[in-house]
């Protein structure tokens, strides 16, 4: 959930000073955008993978501090809860073998994490929500010791006037009951882990790619769904979506976890301007750095979790850039599945961005948002509104149409042909079998009725490296 901060207690002067710097930095990024001062480096890709630490009984193992100390890797860091970690990969170009190098990096880091087992942690598992997770695991005692997390929790609850966070998630699988409860902190967010993809293109291409990413969110959720259970109960095919949104719910109409307020009309700086205008500052920590480093803008943006989020960084040419973080997909099931999801996304965005204005004219933002939640609820069984001759379609038929688009997009970006075939054939087979991670988990639970056996079998399959469409139930 972001970089550490130096303090977790703030004064009114802290908020005032931060607000002034945030306004200056927002003005500066607007100036750079308008005057052509942003980087034209790209396409460049990155990846973050959140994962779980588990014990010998397949329960969460809340020992990321000792685990990370033993591991000693700069590429693996702590997450909100003591039983979650985040794995990062080096930035790559998409051309040639870039995605294969990213694949190898994730596989090797996962192997190192598994070999880092000890009495306190048995192994690591990549899955949207751990089936054996218990409500008792969602407590402040499980929070990773961090000024940032402590301050986020305090400020989020302060903005609610201390009112409890109410969860109300309906069961969409036909195999359970609705889930309702309440919490006095934000720790339920720790029930969700994701695969986060980063995409940087030349500055003049980012608006189209961002809007294409929003439109694609529903098909991406449907094909990748892998979080059907919460505390062992079947709810949505991608239950991670409502859990994350409700865990950080605010009384304001402007939610901090959101699909957003609309397509970008001119550029992505609009979103940072919306951040400044609509969202109160939560972490007013001003780093000793020039405005051109955008420290305050980054920190404020880091307390807003749009499902498709713009990020600011610095490129290899020394210029600032704005890149896209696509956050809709869960962790897992296998590394091959996740790399296939990445290839599919990068390819389709490249192709769809070429005519995105025509597509979004037929699928307004409100429809794209409704599509997203329909796909989260029903996975590959969803129906969505799409562009073209048949406006109301099954998400499976949309995905069928997107596969050749992904192939063309990857080819145009110069990805090696054997990788295009490897990754997109994995998506095609998953689509043909209609067995994504969520479908496998739900079928396994229905047959065996045991979340511990489910988790054990899932972990064995994940370690085998086989894609989920080949997993036996």
Please say if the pLDDT value at position 2 is more than 70. Answer: no
Q: With 0-12 CB in 10 A as exposed, 13-18 as middle and 19+ as buried, what is 102? A: buried
In this prediction, residue 380 has a pLDDT band, given cuts at 50, 70 and 90, of: very high
Distances (CA, A) of 428 to 277, 298, 400, 424, 432: 43, 37, 8, 6, 6
Please provide the average confidence, as pLDDT, over all residues in the chain. Answer: 95
In angstroms, the Cα distances linking 191 to 26, 76, 226, 248 are 33, 19, 13, 12
Predicted confidence (pLDDT) per residue in 212-248, tens digit: 999 999 999 999 999 999 999 999 999 999 999 999 9
pLDDT of amino acid 320: 97
Strand partners, 44: 93, 200
Predicted local confidence at residue 45, as pLDDT: 97
Percent of the chain with pLDDT over 90: 92
**404-436 tens-digit pLDDT:** 999 999 999 999 999 999 999 999 999 999 999
d(CA 129, CA 179) in angstroms, rounded, equals 15
At residue 35, the pLDDT reads 97
| 109 vs 417: CA distance, rounded Å | 26
Q: pTM for the full model?
A: 0.96
Looking at residue 288, its pLDDT comes to 85
Round to whole Å and give the CA distance between 51 and 54. 10
The stretches of 302-364 forming alpha helices (DSSP H) are 335-352, 356-362
Where are the chain's structural domains? 12-38+144-461
The helix-helix angle for 451-464 and 437-448 (nearest 10°) equals: 140
- Cα separation, 410 vs 347, in Å, equals 5
Q: How far apart are CA 263 and CA 366, in angstroms?
A: 10
Q: Within 10 Å of residue 222's Cβ, how many Cβ atoms?
A: 29
What are the tens digits of pLDDT across the range 103-121?
999 999 999 999 998 889 8
Mind listing the pLDDT tens digit for each residue in 45-97? 999 999 999 999 999 999 999 999 999 999 999 999 999 999 999 999 999 99
Closest CA to 294 of 259, 319, 277, 267: 319
pLDDT at 182 over 70: yes
Domain 12-38+144-461 matching CATH 3.30.590: the answer reads yes
Of 10-14, 59-63, 87-91, 297-301, the one with minimum mean pLDDT is 10-14
Instruction: Write b or e for each residue in 176-211: b if 16 or more Cβ atoms lie within 10 A of its Cβ, otherwise e.
Output: beebebebebbbbbbbbbbbbbbbbbebebbbbbbb
């Amino acid at each position: 959930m972001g970089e550490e901060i130096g303090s977790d207690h703030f004064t009114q002067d802290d908020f005032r000073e931060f607000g002034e710097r945030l306004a200056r930095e927002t003005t500066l990024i607007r100036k750079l955008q308008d005057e052509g001062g942003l980087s034209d480096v790209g396409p460049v890709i990155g990846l973050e993978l959140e994962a779980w630490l588990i014990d010998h009984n397949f329960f969460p193992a809340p020992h990321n501090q000792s685990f990370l100390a033993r591991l000693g890797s700069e590429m693996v860091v702590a997450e909100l809860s003591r039983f979650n970690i985040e794995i990062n990969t080096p930035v790559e170009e998409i051309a040639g073998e870039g995605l294969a190098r990213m694949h190898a990096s994730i596989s090797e880091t996962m192997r190192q994490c598994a070999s880092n087992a000890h009495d306190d942690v048995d192994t690591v598992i990549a899955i949207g929500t751990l089936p054996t997770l218990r409500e008792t695991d969602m407590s402040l005692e499980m929070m990773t010791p961090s000024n940032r997390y402590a301050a986020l929790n305090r400020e989020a609850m302060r903005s609610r006037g201390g009112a409890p966070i109410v969860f109300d998630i309906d069961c969409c699988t036909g195999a359970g009951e609705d889930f309702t409860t309440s919490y006095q902190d934000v720790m339920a967010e720790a029930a969700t882990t994701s695969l986060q993809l980063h995409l940087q293109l030349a500055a003049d291409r980012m608006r189209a790619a961002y809007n294409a990413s929003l439109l694609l969110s529903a098909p991406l959720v449907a094909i990748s769904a892998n979080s059907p259970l919460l505390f062992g109960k079947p709810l949505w095919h991608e239950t991670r979506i409502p859990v994350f949104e409700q865990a950080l719910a605010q009384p304001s109409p402007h939610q901090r976890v959101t699909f957003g307020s609309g397509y970008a009309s001119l550029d992505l700086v609009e979103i940072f301007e919306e951040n400044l205008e609509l969202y109160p500052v939560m972490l007013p920590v001003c780093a000793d750095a020039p405005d051109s480093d955008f420290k305050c803008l980054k920190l404020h943006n880091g307390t807003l979790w749009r499902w498709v989020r713009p990020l600011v960084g610095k490129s290899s040419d020394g210029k600032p850039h704005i890149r896209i973080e696509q956050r809709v997909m869960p962790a897992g099931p296998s590394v091959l599945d996740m790399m296939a999801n990445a290839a599919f996304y990068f390819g389709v965005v490249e192709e769809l961005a070429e005519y995105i204005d025509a597509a979004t004219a037929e699928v307004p933002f409100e429809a794209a948002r409704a599509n997203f939640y329909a796909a989260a609820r029903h996975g590959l069984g969803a129906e969505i509104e799409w562009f073209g001759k048949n406006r109301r379609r099954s998400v499976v038929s949309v995905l069928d149409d997107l596969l050749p688009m992904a192939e063309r997009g990857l080819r145009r970006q110069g990805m090696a042909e054997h990788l295009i075939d490897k990754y997109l054939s994995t998506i095609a087979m998953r689509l043909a079998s209609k067995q994504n991670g969520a479908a496998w988990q739900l079928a396994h639970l229905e047959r065996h009725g045991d979340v511990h056996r489910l988790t054990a079998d899932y972990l064995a399959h994940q370690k085998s490296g086989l894609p989920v469409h080949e997993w036996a139930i």
